[in-house]
Amino acid sequence: MKRILVTGGAGFIGSHLCERLLREGNEVVCLDNYFTGNKQNIVTLLKHPYFELVRHDITNPYMAEVDEIYNLACPASPVHYQYNSIKTIKTSVMGAINTLGLAKRVKAKILQASTSEIYGDPEIHPQPESYWGNVNTIGPRSCYDEGKRCAETLFMDYHKQNGVDVKIIRIFNTYGPNMNPHDGRVVSNFIVQALKGEDITIFGKGTQTRSFQYVDDLVEGMIRMMNTPKGVTGPVNIGNQNEFTMLELANAILDLTGSSSKLCFKSLPKDDPKQRQPDISKAGEILNGWKPTVQLEDGLTKTIQYFEKVLMQKTLAF
């Protein structure tokens, strides 16, 4: 049994990771300040004898004896990370410093949940890990993009200077149950709007592309990355290589929900990437042949069922 710390453990991805780690027989310490995390995501885990929930802001140091650390703490959707941009970059940078300091003291392995956003609006397609990105350092998204880029730098410097066993993954667009209905991400937006019969908001002409991976595929990749030998640091892209336009995604959700919602087009936000697709060949080599296995239609069906329950619960509450 390993004792594992998951920062941001009550969030969308963190809650799935906590559940998987417990299922594999580990002791899990879940850290969250609930800025974007939700206790409802992990309420079913609270009775587990090896699950511990701690309310804590990772911009402040945290002390614990642990074997592994997954650093997921940071708002990840534009609506949330732009709400308090200074807080966002502090979470990325100070959170990295604090978790790396802990890993150094207790000699724990530590994984950084970085992001495809470090590539910015890419000029190379698909994006390999060797690509340095095309990022606006002073734009509306820079608090998140640059915070994550700085965190990667800190991880590699702690590895080179102090010998900390670090792992870096770059997460591409991920979806699934436990997403916040109001987080502003395209999958949750489209599904909620379709289920409510509201217009589906598409920014630009809807020709911009994203590659969507189901959360179970991501968690599998994260755990495999954590289990790589010391010295395998990454960064490694974790995402689904299948690319879809926003129009294709909207129409798929309309078909699966049977919704009569109409498409509504609005101006494209500043610095919004026009295309995003991971090169995952490195992940396949390093992570024992890892590749995403959940097809978009199957993943969307599960996610739609989750949001149907969430919306039904809110309706009954009133």
pLDDT tens string 133-173: 999 999 999 999 999 999 999 999 999 999 999 999 999 99
Measured CA to CA, the distance from residue 213 to residue 118 in angstroms comes to: 18
Q: Where do the domains of the chain lie?
A: 3-174+214-241+277-294
The answer to whether residue 315 scores a pLDDT higher than 70 is no
Measured CA to CA, the distance from residue 253 to residue 140 in angstroms comes to: 29
Percentage of residues of the chain with pLDDT beyond 90: 87
Fold of 3-174+214-241+277-294: Rossmann fold (3.40.50)
pLDDT tens string 57-102: 999 999 999 999 999 999 887 787 888 999 999 999 999 999 999 9
Torsion of CA 87, 104, 14, 137, to 10 degrees: 40
pLDDT tens string 180-222: 988 888 999 999 999 999 999 999 899 999 999 999 999 999 9
The answer to whether residue 316 scores a pLDDT higher than 70 is no
Query: What's residue 318's pLDDT?
Result: 43
Q: Compute the radius of gyration of the chain from its Cα atoms.
A: 19
Q: Which are the catalytic amino acids?
A: 144
pTM given for the model: 0.94
CA 278 to each of CA 164, 209, 242, 267: distance values in angstroms, whole numbers, following the listed order: 27, 12, 9, 26
160 contact partners, CB below 8 Å, separation of at least 6 = none
